[in-house]
Structure 1
Amino acid sequence: MSSNHRTQEPLPLPEHDVFLPGNTSVLPKRRGARTRSQPPAQSQGKDVGRGDDDDAGPATPAANDGTSLLDADYRAKLRLPPRPTPPPTIAKSRRLWVDRLDALQARLVDVDTRFDEQEARYDAMAERQLQWEAARAGDVQLRQDTMEVLGEIGERLGALEERADALFKTVGWAWFTGAVVLPAAGWGVWDAVARWG
């Protein structure tokens, strides 16, 4: 064996500050770095690695003890935040999208139904408008026909009035002749006969 060959010794643990993911606290520096071959030292009843600061909290478990970081208790010991909610699986995402599409389709059907109802109302209003216009046109025609009939009736009444005036004049003259002229003439004849008799 060569004299230059030396047995590789284990590397000492790092002495710098250790930062844990998601943990705001910083572990104190280790005192007295040791190799893996050396047993852990006891110092006045305190754990090595905690330092003199009692506010540093409980000793942090080693990260290589085989415990998964997904364990809630282990994450609490490491002072890590709770495990984030895992993203939904493909099937769950598909179900969510199918449910959303079904809800959207239901809303579209509702909107389509309301649109059909509104269109039916507009059609009914248009039909009523046409009926009203037709009735109005019929009323105008009826008014024109009524005015023509009233005009003809007025003309006939005028003719009847003229005939009544002529008849009244005839009857009046006849009455005047029979009631006034003839008696006066008769009395005159009788008076002449009496005088000249």
Structure 2
Amino acid sequence: MATGNQTGNQSALLGLLRFALIALTALTGLGTIFVGVITAFQAWQEHAQQHWPTATAYVEKCAMVHASAGRRLALHIRCRLHVDLGTEQPVAYLYSMNVPPPEVRQSPPNQIAPFIDWVNRHPAGTSIEVRYNPSRHTSVVPVTDPIPRTGPHTPDNLKLLAATSISFVVLLILLRATWPRSVQLRKP
């Protein structure tokens, strides 16, 4: 037979678990909204970039440079380009994401290799086909031979959005199933 103290402990534990489920459901819902907004923004941006005009750009200098990553060691690609637009040749820059240098322990190992290979394939004078923003000619994206780990993010963002949405719905169903019957709204 359960005593009043045991019943109180069970009730407190259920209340704590219910609170944790509410908090997790709310965080997952907010995460889903955040991922949805980022996905929509990047999809719009990538769609707009697909309609930018193309031009040939010439590499002035392309190198691996140290990144500002606080105390962590990191490198990234920095390329200075001259975009050939006929009468004007604006200077544009291409950057990669940060990558750990070879001496830093990492998993998977040697993440920098594709970045170094890309830089080696683009010495000074190399031409790169780019799309440029017609209203800001210094904003460019490569058409072919993109920098490693760049390119469209929308497919991966959509997968993340699906995962967060499914998690939110599952947690919402669990929350509804564990909610005390006396508190649930009655259907008319």
Pairwise TM-score range, normalised by the shorter structure:
under 0.3
Higher strand share: 2
Higher helix share: 1
